[in-house]
């Protein structure tokens, strides 16, 4: 019998077969070309918590021991600095609760660096970092990461909008010139550097507390007390 006639008779007896075969084909095509994708709006800051499957404990700090001390000291600015100062100072905001009422106008200028020279007269407390603290600081920056890594290039860490710093690590060369500084605001959990070249690494939950203890253990009190930190 003619094959075309056989096919015609088959379709007459099974009217849903042709429709089903087309629906199956179209269904596969729909899955292929219309997969549900995560849509990002440019003006919205998506934090790690927006990521599918996120848990709060993902952001806990974990010691990775990824970089040795020698490797850490080869990073900027540690490779250039011959001395690191650990300092505190009054904020530039006169109304800040952290600014003692007895401070004069000079101290209220905050951290002052002019032509790479540090103005020591505005500082409240000054300590010099020893080898132990440098080892500790570089570990905090380079070897403490998020407990769980989220591979999502669209995730951003917006940080906090306030910024009223009172503490900093100052990196000096042999001539006493300021190479750079890492300024930290424990009240707002934020930081900045002079040339935007120093970073604290992954901003995991305990990192600012670890940095705070670097100051506290050297006897730095201003800006590091529990009442000065964001709750």
User: What residue spans define the domains of the chain?
Assistant: 3-33, 61-228
| CB contact at 8 A, 140 and 217 | no
Distance from C-alpha of 213 to C-alpha of 117, rounded to nearest angstrom: 27
Tally of CB atoms within 10 A around 185: 23
pLDDT value, residue 200: 95
pLDDT value, residue 133: 98
pLDDT value, residue 53: 85
pLDDT band of residue 126 (cuts 50, 70, 90) is very high
155, pLDDT greater than 70: no
pLDDT value, residue 42: 45
9, pLDDT greater than 70: no
Residues with Cβ within 8 Å of residue 125, at least 6 apart in sequence: 87, 88, 219, 220, 221, 222
Distance from C-alpha of 30 to C-alpha of 23, rounded to nearest angstrom: 10
Going 90 to 96 to 99 to 102, the CA torsion angle's sign is: positive
Residues with Cβ within 8 Å of residue 57, at least 6 apart in sequence: 147, 148
Name which of 96-110, 140-154, 161-175, 179-193 the model is least confident about. 96-110
- Average model confidence (pLDDT) for the chain? 80
E strands, 151-214, where? 167-172, 178-185, 190-193
DSSP string, 29-83: HHHHH--------TTS---GGGSTT--GGGGSEEE---S-HHHHHTSTTTTT-SE
How far is CA 83 from each of CA 93, 165, 171, 203, rounded to the nearest angstrom?
Answer: 29, 22, 6, 26
> What is the pTM (predicted TM-score) of this model?
0.74
229, pLDDT greater than 80: no
pLDDT value, residue 30: 33
DSSP string, 132-163: HHHHHHHHHHHHEEESS----TT------S--
pLDDT value, residue 40: 36
| Residue position matching structure tokens 């849509």 | 39
Name which of 6-20, 103-117, 160-174 the model is least confident about. 6-20
165, pLDDT greater than 80: yes
98, pLDDT greater than 80: no
190 or 17, which is more confident? 190
Q: What is the mean pLDDT of residues 90-102?
A: 68
């Amino acid at each position: 019998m003619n094959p075309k006639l056989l096919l015609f008779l088959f379709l007459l007896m099974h009217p849903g077969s042709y429709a089903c075969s087309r629906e199956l084909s179209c269904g596969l095509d729909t899955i292929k070309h219309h997969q549900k994708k995560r849509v990002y709006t440019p003006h919205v800051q998506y934090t790690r918590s927006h990521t599918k499957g996120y848990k709060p404990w993902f952001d806990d700090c974990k010691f990775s021991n990824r970089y040795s001390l020698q490797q850490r000291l080869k990073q900027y600015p540690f490779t250039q600095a011959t001395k690191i100062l650990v300092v505190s100072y009054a904020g530039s905001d006169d109304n800040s609760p952290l600014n003692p009422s007895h401070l004069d106008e000079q101290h209220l200028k905050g951290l002052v660096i002019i032509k790479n020279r540090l103005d020591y007269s505005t500082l409240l407390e000054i300590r010099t970092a020893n080898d132990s603290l440098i080892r500790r600081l570089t570990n905090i920056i380079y070897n403490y990461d998020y407990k769980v890594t989220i591979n999502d290039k669209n995730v951003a860490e917006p940080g906090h909008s306030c910024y009223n710093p009172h503490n900093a690590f100052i990196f000096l060369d042999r001539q006493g010139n300021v190479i750079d500084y890492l300024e930290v605001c424990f009240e707002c959990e934020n930081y900045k550097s002079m040339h935007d070249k120093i970073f604290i690494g992954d901003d995991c939950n305990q990192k600012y507390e670890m940095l705070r203890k670097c100051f506290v253990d050297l006897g730095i009190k201003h800006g590091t007390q529990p009442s000065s930190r964001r709750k």
